[in-house]
Structure 1
Amino acid sequence: MLGVLGAIYLVHLAAAISPGPAVLLCARTSLREGFLRGTWLAVGIGIGACIWAIAALFGLALLFKVAPALLTALKFAGAVYLIYLAIKMWRHASEPLADLPETEAPRNAAGLVWLGIATQLANPKPAVFFGTIFLTFVPPQAPPWVYVAIIGIVFFNDAGWNVIVSRIFSLERTRRAYLDLKTTIDRVFGGLLGLLGLKLAIS
């Protein structure tokens, strides 16, 4: 079973590292609000990934195959949410940090965790990804501790990678560069997030 867990760890780590909405938001949050707040967002991202993994365990990936309209509906809902976040970034890109409205002020830990969860849940594709992993790597008669270990791996990879992203983007040199180029950087982040939302809707 250790070989199975090792294979799942490597496959999922590659997926967690690939750029996506969660990584973009983590980078931007850390630039604007610092490492600690970026870490709380990373915790939420890890929890959101675990929710999809647990859903796959309970057959949600199979449900998507049987009822593809459900997957399509969830993809469109997720795309709308990501595009909404992108528009918010774009609209406030030219405003100095000190002049941002109250809704854009630094959020508390609970709000950041929830944002991370919501961002992950906006994309239902991980449920299919995890379902594929379980079918490919995990034997049908695997003991319960294996599934618990897999959930732990999922959290460690998603949260851990985004903590690293938070650390990199919260460095003082990185933040100074952000403040000098805030409008451009925020619009790049917003544009990329919007493109990811559109990709989710049409894929």
Structure 2
Amino acid sequence: MDALLPLLSIVAAIAIGAASPGPSFVLVARIAVADRRASGIAAALGMGLGGVAFASLALAGLIALLTRVEWLYLGLRVAGGGYLLYLAWRLWRGAGQPLALGGATERPRSLRRAFVLGLVTQLSNPKTAVVYAGIFAALLPVAPPLWLALVLPPLIFCVECGWYCIVATAFSAARPRAAYLRGKGWIDRLAGGVMGLLGLRLIAGSLRG
């Protein structure tokens, strides 16, 4: 039972981090509003799996090693920033294109594609990896029991996936979708701008060292 408090503390810290705005939030919200609820939930599942990957790496101590190998960490940051810039370009380029939900001009994206997009977006943000490593280093016992290591990844999945499922459900409702259709152009450009700024910030921080 001594490990129960650290477990709850880690889950709470991860939940607070997941709820903070970032590229994952922008992506899931945009998919849910522009496409359909199922696609947003599929992206949320990808986010959850990405969280499990980070949690597993943190438990294995690999993230701590990554932060010590500076050139590898910087390379991952640049790659992640480049991916966010790519997403920003895609959003900006498609901002002026009409969107007819359920119509003939654009079919809903496949659930598999939405899932992969969510997973890759989560994994492309090395800042999330560092957050996981910091939380685990600060709150995980020095010699955690086996049950704690087995329970943490599923709980992390529930936290990450659960939060983004809430986001997908909220933004796929009738009013947010109608508002998106009315202002698609500037909303997509705003989302693309946010993604682009996050990507540039990640790359600039890497180059400054």
TM-score (norm 1): 0.93
In structure 2, what is the Cα distance between the partners aligned to 1:145 and 1:200? 36
Q: 1:5-84 maps to which residues of 2 (within 5 A)?
A: 5-84=7-86
In structure 2, what is the Cα distance between the partners aligned to 1:135 and 1:11? 12
1:66-104 Cα distance to aligned partner (Å, 9 max, x none): 2111110000001111100100100110110149xx9x7
Please tell me the residue identity of whatever aligns with 2:186.
T
What is the SS of the residue equivalent to 2:143? coil
Q: 1:81-96 maps to which residues of 2 (within 5 A)?
A: 81-96=83-98
- Structure 1 residues not aligned, in runs of 5+: none
Identity within the alignment, %: 40
Q: Report if the CA contact (8 A) 1:45-1:120 is conserved.
A: yes
1:157-185 Cα distance to aligned partner (Å, 9 max, x none): 11111111111110101111110100011
Count of equivalent residues: 200
How far 1:140 moved relative to its partner? Answer: 2.1
Match of 1:173 in 2: 175
1:26-80 Cα distance to aligned partner (Å, 9 max, x none): 0000001121110000000110111111112222222223211111000000111
1:142-162 Cα distance to aligned partner (Å, 9 max, x none): 112202222122111111111
Q: Report if the CA contact (8 A) 2:79-2:124 is conserved.
A: yes
Please tell me the residue identity of whatever aligns with 2:19.
I
How far 1:119 moved relative to its partner? Answer: 0.2
- Structure 2 residues not aligned, in runs of 5+: none
Corresponding position: 1:131 with 2:133: yes
TM-score (norm 2): 0.90
RMSD of aligned Cα (Å): 1.7
In structure 2, what is the Cα distance between the partners aligned to 1:202 and 1:145? 41
Q: 1:114 aligns with which of 113, 116, 132?
A: 116
In structure 1, what is the Cα distance between the partners aligned to 2:198 and 2:156? 22
